[in-house]
Amino acid sequence: MGIRPFRRAVVLCIAVFGMLPIALPAQPSVFPSAPAPTLSTPDMTSEPSDDAPEDLSIPGKPEVREKSFLEKDQEARGGGAARMQPPAPKPKIFDAPIVREVVVSGANPEDTKKALRVIQTRVGEPLDPDKQREDIRRLYELGLFSPNILLQADRTADGGVKLTYLVQPNPKVNDITVQGNVKTPTDKILSQLPVKKGQVYTVQAQNKIRESVQRYYEEKGYTDANVRVEERPAAGNMVNLVITVDEGTKTKIKDLIIRGNDHIRDLTIKLRTTNKGSWGPFTHYYNESRFQEDLETIKALYISRGFLDVDVQRGDFVYGPDQSWVSPVIEVREGPRYRVGRIDAQGYTLFTREEVLKPFLGLQGAYYNAAKFNA
């Protein structure tokens, strides 16, 4: 054998032996296996334990009832069997004292008689706070006394009570002066006042006087008139009133503009309103309070013609450049017009149903018209 064949044989053997498997040492298990459970057979011959629950299914055994919550709670408190506690006694109600006398203090004899007539509390009745509160309200509504009405209760010798209503009379009007009125006579203004000389002057009187004079001027066309009322105390529980008027200027109505009235003519509407346009020798001045009434009048007119859903509102007024005239605007949304459906009668006694319905049968199917039903 030569050298080269031997070298090839050695190389081949090394390659073959390099492919043989190599035995590796054993690796520990990541999750070791749990030991197998051991089964034990119970000893059926052993005596039962004292702690074992009693078998209630055995015949002849007494039935054991579970104790209620009250019984358990009573035993926990050391009281043995539960006992029903008697209800707590009701608080004693004391009788109200009897009214022995009713007096009104602070008023003159005439006003005292009026006050006693409206007081509900009567002598011999038990004291009733609700009734006394009602008495104070009634005394105030007389308009004779100021709001600070007090009630004083005094015990009598026999255990009753004496009620005294302490009142303070309202002042009376001693004199009324009007100033600032240039275009309106004073006697015309005084005739509009809700309070006259010698009458009682209440806390509400000032607003009533101002509103009445303001309304009078508005009706005359002075829409921007301003009224102030000053109270000056006088001797003997009297008061002097000073009414100051800033008349402003009268606002002439140029025209009454009505929009949205498709089914009723302008003239028909204007004949029913107070605020009318001025034409020829006829001059009308704007009146704000009457304008609200005009809106209701137009609405009633539409409803009587079958427009039951009509809406009548104030629009944007048109004013002159110098504010000397105004054209009020009324916006009308007529809505649908309703027809008469079925007509029936109720409550008739003297006539038959047919006799009652006969005058109205021709209206069925026609547009509703209140005038025809009221004819």
Return contacts of 248-251, CB within 8 angstroms, 24+ apart: 248/217, 248/222, 248/223, 248/224, 249/222, 249/224, 249/323, 249/324, 250/220, 250/221, 250/222, 250/285, 251/221, 251/222, 251/223, 251/224, 251/285, 251/286, 251/323, 251/324, 251/325, 251/326
By DSSP bridging, strand 325-327 and strand 172-179 are: unpaired
Helix axes 109-118, 129-141, angle to 10 degrees: 130
Q: Of the candidates 101, 208, 74, 87, which has an alpha carbon nearest to the alpha carbon of residue 164?
A: 101
Contact 229, 206 (CB under 8 A): yes
Q: Of the candidates 169, 198, 171, which has an alpha carbon nearest to the alpha carbon of residue 110?
A: 169
Contact 280, 286 (CB under 8 A): no
**All domains in the chain, ordered by first residue:** 99-166 (3.10.20.310), 172-246 (3.10.20.310), 252-333 (3.10.20.310), 340-375 (no CATH)
Contact 241, 231 (CB under 8 A): yes
Tens-binned pLDDT, residue by residue, of the chain (375 aa): 444 444 433 333 333 333 333 333 444 433 344 444 444 444 444 444 445 444 444 444 455 556 655 556 556 555 544 455 666 665 544 578 999 999 999 999 999 999 999 999 999 999 999 999 999 999 999 989 999 999 999 999 999 999 999 999 999 999 999 999 988 899 999 999 999 999 999 888 989 999 999 989 888 888 788 999 999 999 999 999 999 999 888 888 999 999 999 999 999 999 999 998 888 888 888 888 789 899 999 999 999 999 999 999 999 999 988 888 899 999 999 999 999 988 888 888 888 888 888 888 888 888 888 877 775
Q: Of the candidates 246, 240, 248, which has an alpha carbon nearest to the alpha carbon of residue 177?
A: 240
Helix axes 205-219, 288-304, angle to 10 degrees: 70
Dihedral-angle region of residue 146 (phi above 0 means left; psi in -120 to 50 means alpha; beta otherwise): beta
